[in-house]
């Protein structure tokens, strides 16, 4: 027989309190938008976004998905949306342990000032990589002649 032992809050009250305290402590330590950072830690998949000199570099962990199950879109309101969808499992299967989630997993980011035509997206070995070149600021080239 195989079965997992679920976390029992009554038997592990001290451990449950520790987990809650760590989450609240993490939120309190963040200088900007603590709820956004906590929600990122609890999201359906993890993402890193680096602010490079010429581009934003986004890396998302999406193990177990096929490339065809992932969509990346950028709308006119500057929202980048990453959506991955895993189909529901066959209901006729009798699972002894069923921890892998199915359905839609989605993250949305507000990113402005990018060159939409220069964006590159790749997916390999469970890692989604998006490079979003920044729009180059127009330099002030107006020169006034002094009389």
Same-domain status, 69 and 16: no
Residue 128 lies in a domain: yes
Confidence of residue 38 (pLDDT cuts 50, 70, 90): very low
Domain that holds residue 34: 9-42
pTM of the model: 0.64
- For 21, counting Cβ atoms within 10 Å of its Cβ (0-12 exposed, 13-18 middle, 19+ buried), the class is exposed
| Chain CA centroid to CA 133, Å | 19
**What CATH code is carried by the domain that includes residue 95?**
2.60.40.790
Mean pLDDT of 104-127: 91
Q: Residue 136 — pLDDT band, cuts 50, 70, 90?
A: confident
Q: CB neighbours of 141 closer than 8 A, spacing ≥ 6?
A: none
Assess whether 23 and 54 both reside in one domain: no
SS3 65: coil
Q: How far apart are CA 25 and CA 19, in angstroms?
A: 10
Domain check: are 100 and 56 in the same one? yes
Q: Is residue 3 part of a domain?
A: no
Say if residue 36 is in the same domain as residue 57: no
Give strand ranges (E) for the chain: 47-51, 55-61, 70-74, 79-86, 103-110, 120-124, 127-133
Q: Domain check: are 93 and 115 in the same one?
A: yes
Q: 96 falls in which pLDDT band (50, 70, 90)?
A: confident
**Whether residue 95 is found in the same domain as residue 63:** yes
**C-alpha to C-alpha distance for 12 and 68, rounded to whole angstroms:** 42
Q: What is the pLDDT of residues 47-92, one digit of tens each?
A: 999 999 999 999 999 998 999 999 999 988 888 999 999 888 777 8
In the chain, the number of structural domains is 2
d(CA 135, CA 137) in angstroms, rounded, equals 6
Whether 121 contacts 72, CB under 8 Å: yes
In terms of domains, do 114 and 101 share one? yes
Residue 1 covered by a domain: no
């Amino acid at each position: 027989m195989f079965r997992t032992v679920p976390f029992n809050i009554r038997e592990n009250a001290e451990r449950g309190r520790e987990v809650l305290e760590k989450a609240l402590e993490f939120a309190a330590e963040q200088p900007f938008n603590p709820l956004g950072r906590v929600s990122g830690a609890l999201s359906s998949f993890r993402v890193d976004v680096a602010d490079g000199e010429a581009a934003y570099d986004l890396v998302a962990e999406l193990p177990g998905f096929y490339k065809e199950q992932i969509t990346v879109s950028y709308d006119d309101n500057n929202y980048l949306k990453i959506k991955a969808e895993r189909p529901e499992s066959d209901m006729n299967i009798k699972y002894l342990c069923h921890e892998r989630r199915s359905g839609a997993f989605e993250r949305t980011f507000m990113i402005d000032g990018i060159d939409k035509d220069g964006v590159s997206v790749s997916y390999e070995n469970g890692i989604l990589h998006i490079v979003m070149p920044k729009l180059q600021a127009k330099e002030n080239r107006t020169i006034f002649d002094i009389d």
